[in-house]
Amino acid sequence: MENEFLNITDKRTKATYDVPFFKGAVRAMDLRKIKTGPDDFGVMSYDPAFLNTASCQSAITFIDGDKGILRYRGYPIDQLADKCTFLEVAYLVLFGELPTHSELKDWTDKITHHTMLHETSKKFLEGFRYDAHPMGMFISTVAALSTVYPEARNVLDPESRKLQIYRLIGKVPTIAAYCYRHSLGYPYVYPDNELSYAENFMNMLWKMVEPKYQANPALARALDILFILHADHEQNCSANVMRSVGSSQADPFVATAAAAAGLSGPLHGGANEEVLKMLDEIGSKDRVKEYVDGVKAGHGKLMGFGHRIYKNYDPRARIIKWAAERVFEVTGRNTRLDIALELERIALEDEYFIKRKLYPNVDFYSGIIYQAMGFKPEIFTVLFAIPRTAGWLAQWQEMIQDPEQKIARPRQIYTGYVVRDVVPLEKREVAAVKGT
């Protein structure tokens, strides 16, 4: 026990403190007892963008970025992608164990019976302009579900939470498909309860006049694998938003919409759309070297490369690369894949990328697969949001049930004026306005 303290000497006061370790970390609140006097607030930790701050304890997802490991509830991602369906994995992520046969049947029934959207939500979607970005439509429609299910505010009731989870997991593919069809001007297709989660999504996306939609099994499996790989990724930007918004006891529909907004940025889930734009900008394999040289000279970033946590290969990228090959066997080879492979080859041999530990991440290949399947880049982030809804809800449930959690409220180091008097409008002189 003697060694399980961090011994700190405050050279200002010469006082020493034994700060206990808690699961390998120190509690930031323990630093507050380090003071220069009774009026001193105490020491805070300063950590912009949470580079070294654990904001919660979590038993959902484990990542070892240096070793390239990703596990949900202890199961390696490659085994889950190989042996399970997305709905099994969503159940695992949400409830902690893989479902038994009867649990899976019950779970699948529950999800299937919550796939329909209220007709008013359909009308809500119709109000968007024909060229609205699908992610904006998705975020707004998920938030609008909060008005359809006002009882969802009852976040402390476990039964109510479960019902909202069924609704959200069931409805996000329907919303996504409706956003897609809205942007194409096609009529909406109602869910088909006889199909699997991925097949039903494909049905709602692509069914035209045929009486029954038949999904290509290889493409449906590839989509399901992509869903598995995207189900959760511990405390990333959008999960942190989900927890943070949920910590105010906002309902899970608006919290999920907020998390999806976090996902929409180009540095997070929006990256796969950017990868496609980048590959099109490069245009051909022989221009890859020139493009990489431009990035090294400071002209932009290689989209789909680098990760805050993975400083080795992103384990999801390896599985996605494999899935891409399966998809291309069905759809025919796409020149973008050749450009991507060449880009990966050149970057992985280049000192700039090696030194900074920049490897392809999950978004590098997912966009190429989606495009080969017929999706437009604008919808890519929505495809990411469908499975990640399971992860967000798991993070939200865990946060609500954690007795240590409170409303999220970081501290700041104030750098503005101490105090000054207001000058009446007629006496104010023009001054440069800071930070507009």
Ligand X SMILES: CC(C)(COP(=O)(O)OP(=O)(O)OC[C@H]1O[C@@H](n2cnc3c(N)ncnc32)[C@H](O)[C@@H]1OP(=O)(O)O)[C@@H](O)C(=O)NCCC(=O)NCCS
* Residues forming the active site: 268, 307, 363
Q: Please identify, among the stretches 31-39, 170-178, 197-205, 354-362, the one whose residues bind ligand X according to the rule CB under 6 A.
A: 354-362
286 burial via Cβ count (<10 Å: 0-12, 13-18, 19+): exposed
**Residue 238 in the binding site for ligand X (CB under 6 A):** no
What b-and-e string marks burial along 380-399, b requiring 16 or more CB atoms within 10 Å of the CB?
bbbbbbbbbbbbbbbbbbbb
* Token pair for 230: 């995207």
102 burial via Cβ count (<10 Å: 0-12, 13-18, 19+): exposed
Q: Please identify, among the stretches 163-171, 297-305, 325-333, 416-424, the one whose residues bind ligand X according to the rule CB under 6 A.
A: 297-305
- CB of 322 vs ligand X, minimal distance in Å: 18
Binds ligand X by CB under 6 A, chosen from 363, 371, 388, 397: 363
**Residue 302 in the binding site for ligand X (CB under 6 A):** yes
CA distance 114 to 175: 12
Residues in 267-286 at the binding interface with ligand X, rule: CB under 6 A? 267, 271
* Token pair for 193: 């309860």
Q: Please identify, among the stretches 108-116, 178-186, 294-302, 318-326, the one whose residues bind ligand X according to the rule CB under 6 A.
A: 294-302
**DSSP H or E segment with residue 162:** helix 158-184
> With respect to ligand X, which residue has the nearer C-beta, 49 or 209?
49
CA distance 139 to 157: 25
Instruction: Identify the residue whose tokens are 């369906």.
Output: 85
- CB of 292 vs ligand X, minimal distance in Å: 9
Q: What helix, strand, coil percent values describe the chain, rounded to 5? A: 55, 5, 40
By CB under 6 A, the count of residues binding ligand X is 16
- CB of 11 vs ligand X, minimal distance in Å: 30
**Residue 239 in the binding site for ligand X (CB under 6 A):** no
- CB of 197 vs ligand X, minimal distance in Å: 23
> With respect to ligand X, which residue has the nearer C-beta, 71 or 308?
308
**Which residue of the chain is nearest ligand X when measured via CB?**
306
Q: What angle do CA 424, 426, 429 make, to 5 degrees?
A: 90
**Residue 380 in the binding site for ligand X (CB under 6 A):** no
> With respect to ligand X, which residue has the nearer C-beta, 139 or 275?
275
Q: Please identify, among the stretches 78-86, 196-204, 243-251, 356-364, the one whose residues bind ligand X according to the rule CB under 6 A.
A: 356-364
CA distance 190 to 177: 10
- CB of 352 vs ligand X, minimal distance in Å: 7
Closest alpha carbon to 263 in 171, 363, 168, 195: 363
**Residue 318 in the binding site for ligand X (CB under 6 A):** no
Binds ligand X by CB under 6 A, chosen from 118, 308, 318, 326: 308
Which residues form the interface with ligand X (CB under 6 A)? 267, 271, 295, 301-308, 356, 358, 361-363
